[in-house]
Amino acid sequence: MTTWLGLDAGHEDAAKADAIAVSLYETLLFHAQVVCVHAVGDHHALSFRLTDEPSENTVSTLIERGYGVAVHNGSLQRLAGPEELARGALRAALAHRHRREGRALRFPGQRALRGRYGVSDIIAFSAIEEVLPHGIKSVDARGDLQPFFANGRLVLRAG
């Protein structure tokens, strides 16, 4: 069962939120399929798409680190931590679940995208569903691609 985990610690700096999201993915939430950062009001929150619910130990660790936590798997399972941050965490989890908004820092197929690729290959072999601007033929994927959710699709803006 897919579960979305939203986390909010009130990060005002987008680059710091990105670094923390990747660090959490590499250490505590390594089984996440998609990792996103979301603008929530005047700060940034994180979300993770998981194949199962995070363990009680994982949730406790995140709360101890000062995060507001939202666990959502189609229906709200849990809100924890400081109330304002828990609300931000829920906004991030729902934006990810409904694919409305959020920059994807980690996504399926990302590791294979190194070098220059045709748009059709990017769409065929990764979670990216659309490349903008339309009509572009290839993308230099040497850098760190950060597609974003818009209108239910994972979209990459090239160039």
The pTM (predicted TM-score) of the whole model is: 0.94
23-65: pLDDT as tens digits: 999 999 999 999 999 999 999 999 999 999 999 999 999 999 9
Query: Tens of pLDDT along 119-156?
Result: 999 999 999 999 999 999 999 876 678 999 999 999 99
State the Cα–Cα distance between residues 60 and 69, nearest whole angstrom. 10
Judge whether residue 1 has pLDDT over 90: no
pLDDT at residue 143, as a whole number: 62
CA 127 – CA 155 distance, rounded (Å): 9
| pLDDT band, very low/low/confident/very high, at 74 (cuts 50, 70, 90) | confident
DSSP 112-154: G--SEEEHHHHHHHSS--EEESTT--EEE-SS----EEETTEE
- pLDDT at residue 140 in the model: 87
User: At residue 159, does pLDDT exceed 80?
Assistant: no
3-state secondary structure of 74: coil
pLDDT of res. 112: 83
Instruction: Classify residue 3 by its DSSP letter.
Output: E
